[in-house]
Structure 1
């Protein structure tokens, strides 16, 4: 880390986004979408795929509707699901630092939950195939709430599932949409950007932005060490 920062509170629980934060799946998802579109004769710009990062399936479908129309959208999604299923079955690669973070939290008995915009069946399949499912006390998905991120619903559900006060939960996120959801839930988010670098509007939210999960773990280690006897 290039500038000294510190964690301002001791969390009672840590809640994780999934895609782009724990799993290197954002690249795989948009890669499968782009490949499917090209197979069907649509060479769509990268900015379209990047605009889908962190958003719900409904938002992504709407963006595709605007780009190619409903009929072609359905064909692209059907083909991309086939391509992505093969990626998931093989196990989506981990993002750097996730195993060390989970080991650290588990060793200290700090509860952990997933809060993802992915639908429940696919989320569970991805976590299981990547060997991460057993590392969490709760998994909360867009299937389980009425409103997806950036609404706070899935984060509030995760806190309830852990029996934790939302204001004492640390959230780890990669996307601006997820950060806004965590802030709306009254939680303390740390953003570790993946495909989307924070713009001025995102930085103005005032949350902590770090280069990696390892940096976040070091901050947490320092906080716990400094307050071990309090």
Structure 2
């Protein structure tokens, strides 16, 4: 659903990273597909899309099922080389992320990152993209026992900010992340990137918008309503 207003005034905003702030999902899938082709595996796009929003362990399992463990490792090693070049150059921003962060600065709203990416890579990606210093906390899959769709990383982000989960707004692109935010007792806004929400995802009852600009305007309306 896409309501005209938020049901509360958020005290913090928690961001997913890949596909939400950074246009990295396309880069990751492109590097995996290129690495697979180089090694003689022409795998279907649906396989790569099925990995969006999932942990590294899940992605490894999907590749194991498709090409076997030995070939999977070769593909991953080559794709990591290709992707590191993308990361070093700075993964492009998703539209609207700078405007959203500037808005939060103006209103002094704390914010954190909650990502399924491991900590070393997450820090490199955020730093190269010029976003690392714009967050009060960076929470990654390295920091929790269970990855998304478990709520662990979102609960850690709330604790890091000192804000109750129910007062946190979450910005996500993937169904997996949305489920994690809901499990944490938070209010997620989904801004789909590569995966459009199907009926099962829409049945979760969360907010779905088309862009970060739409999310910023919704947040602005919520803050304005508090002042009136």
RMSD of the TM alignment (CA)?
A: 0.8
Find the counterpart in structure 1 of residue 91 from structure 2. 92
Q: How far, CA to CA, are the matches of 1:221 and 1:5 in structure 2?
A: 12
Task: Report the CA distance between 1:134 and its aligned residue.
Answer: 0.4
TM score, norm. by length of structure 1: 0.98
Q: How far, CA to CA, are the matches of 2:3 and 2:92 in structure 1?
A: 31
Find the counterpart in structure 2 of residue 117 from structure 1. 116
Find the counterpart in structure 2 of residue 177 from structure 1. 176
Find the counterpart in structure 2 of residue 19 from structure 1. 18
Q: Is residue 195 from structure 1 mapped to residue 194 from structure 2 by the alignment?
A: yes
1:227 aligned counterpart, secondary structure: helix
Q: Is residue 62 from structure 1 mapped to residue 61 from structure 2 by the alignment?
A: yes
Find the counterpart in structure 2 of residue 75 from structure 1. 74
Task: Report the CA distance between 1:121 and its aligned residue.
Answer: 0.1
Find the counterpart in structure 2 of residue 148 from structure 1. 147
Find the counterpart in structure 1 of residue 211 from structure 2. 212
Task: Report the CA distance between 1:226 and its aligned residue.
Answer: 1.4
Deviations 1:149-201 (CA, angstroms, capped at 9, x unpaired): 00000000000000000001000000000000000000000000000000000
Q: How far, CA to CA, are the matches of 2:127 and 2:169 in structure 1?
A: 23
TM score, norm. by length of structure 2: 0.99
Give every structure 1 segment of 4 or more consecutive aligned residues whose post-TM-superposition deviation is greater than 6 Å. Answer: none
Q: How far, CA to CA, are the matches of 2:227 and 2:30 in structure 1?
A: 45
Task: Report the CA distance between 1:228 and its aligned residue.
Answer: 1.7
CA contact (8 A) 2:3 2:207 kept: no
Q: How far, CA to CA, are the matches of 1:223 and 1:152 in structure 2?
A: 25
Deviations 1:23-49 (CA, angstroms, capped at 9, x unpaired): 000000000000000000000000000
Q: How far, CA to CA, are the matches of 1:200 and 1:4 in structure 2?
A: 17
Structure 1, gaps ≥5 residues long: none
CA contact (8 A) 2:14 2:168 kept: yes
Q: How far, CA to CA, are the matches of 2:225 and 2:187 in structure 1?
A: 19
Q: Is residue 136 from structure 1 mapped to residue 135 from structure 2 by the alignment?
A: yes
Task: Report the CA distance between 1:81 and its aligned residue.
Answer: 0.1
CA contact (8 A) 2:113 2:157 kept: yes
Q: How far, CA to CA, are the matches of 2:152 and 2:103 in structure 1?
A: 27
Find the counterpart in structure 2 of residue 50 from structure 1. 49
Task: Report the CA distance between 1:5 and its aligned residue.
Answer: 1.3
Of 140-149 and 220-229, deviating more is: 220-229
